[in-house]
Amino acid sequence: MTLLNLLASRSSRMKASEIRELLKLLDQPDIISFAGGIPDPSLFPAQAIGDAYQAVLGGKEAGTALQYQVSEGYLPLRKWLAAYMGKLGVQCDEGNIFITSGSQQALDYLGKLFLSPGDTALVTWPTYLGALQAFNAYEPRYDRLNTAGGNMTPEAYRAAAAVNGGKVKFAYLVPDFANPTGNTLDVKQRETVLDLAGELDIAVIEDAAYRALRYD
């Protein structure tokens, strides 16, 4: 008997991470690769992180740090994040914050929550490969999100989605220093996306991984 015969049909859609394949180039000494977002190790705050670990594990919160937590994440951190989001103009509280192990888990959750087979996700093109890989497991189709407006009206998006028996569910974009293009949307382009989302009555997923990396 082979376990391969027992695998769910969705497993056939699981592919090796394209990002990890790109990162294999880093092991080749004759290549200077710009394919992956690999920080300079000298910039890692190793000492500060080590000091923080020591402070927590050597203090009264050690038990809390090592204990199981609720799925939403550590409450004091969620409160801090809610306050931080408030400074960015997003009004929320800790009940609106869900902490994940990283962006890929968050993107997988979003695909699981929103996408049924045949539904449409609107994306800028090209877009972040990791997002497509996370969403692909839920069998969506993609339409190009034109941030400058253009011929794709809400009706056209709906009609294209209906051909496959699905609905338009969300728009996904990296508005600041997009991966892989590096583009940043201006105010007018962001308003165009929001107007379209309002007319389609869909969610907007803003992947703001690089927002703080703005240099004068």
Give the distance between the most distant pair of CA atoms in the chain.
Answer: 62
Say whether both 173 and 118 belong to one domain: yes
As a whole number of angstroms, the distance between CA 4 and CA 181 comes to 38
Residue 175: CATH number of its domain: 3.40.640.10
The pLDDT assigned to 103 comes to: 93
Residue span of the structural domain in which 188 resides: 103-206
pLDDT tens digits, 72-110:
999 999 999 999 999 999 999 999 999 999 999 999 999
What's the pLDDT score for residue 212?
Answer: 86
pLDDT category at 39 given cuts 50, 70, 90 is: confident
Q: How many domains does the chain have?
A: 2
Which of residues 9 and 201 earns the better pLDDT score? 201
Q: Per-residue pLDDT averaged across 148-164, rounded?
A: 81
| Whether the Cβ atoms of residue 97 and residue 74 lie closer than 8 Å to each other | no
- For 207, residues 6+ apart whose C-beta sits below 8 A from its C-beta are 103, 107, 128, 131, 172, 173, 174
Quick check: is 93 in a domain? yes
Per the domain annotation, does 59 fall within a domain? no
* DSSP per-residue codes, 136-194: HTT--EEEE--TT--S--HHHHHHHHHHTT--EEEEEE--SS-TTT-----HHHHHHHH
Q: Does residue 129 lie within any of the structural domains?
A: yes
What percentage of the chain carries pLDDT values higher than 70?
90
79 shares its domain with 123: no
Does one domain contain both 116 and 200?
Answer: yes
Task: Please tell me whether residues 94 and 149 are part of one structural domain.
Answer: no
Q: What is the pLDDT of residues 166-215, one digit of tens each?
A: 899 999 999 999 988 889 999 999 999 999 999 999 999 999 998 888 87
Inform me whether the pLDDT recorded for 38 exceeds 80. no
In angstroms, the CA 85 to CA 64 distance is: 25
Residues 150 and 193 in one domain: yes
Please tell me the predicted confidence (pLDDT) of residue 141. Answer: 94
- Average pLDDT in the chain: 89
- The answer as to whether 167 is a domain residue is yes
78 plus 121 within the same structural domain: no
* Confidence band, pLDDT 50/70/90 cuts, at residue 150: low
Let me know if residue 47 belongs to a domain.
no
How confident is the model at residue 35, as a pLDDT? 66
Per-residue pLDDT of 25-36, as tens digits, reads: 677 778 776 766
For residue 51, pLDDT over 90 is answered with yes
pLDDT at 101: 94
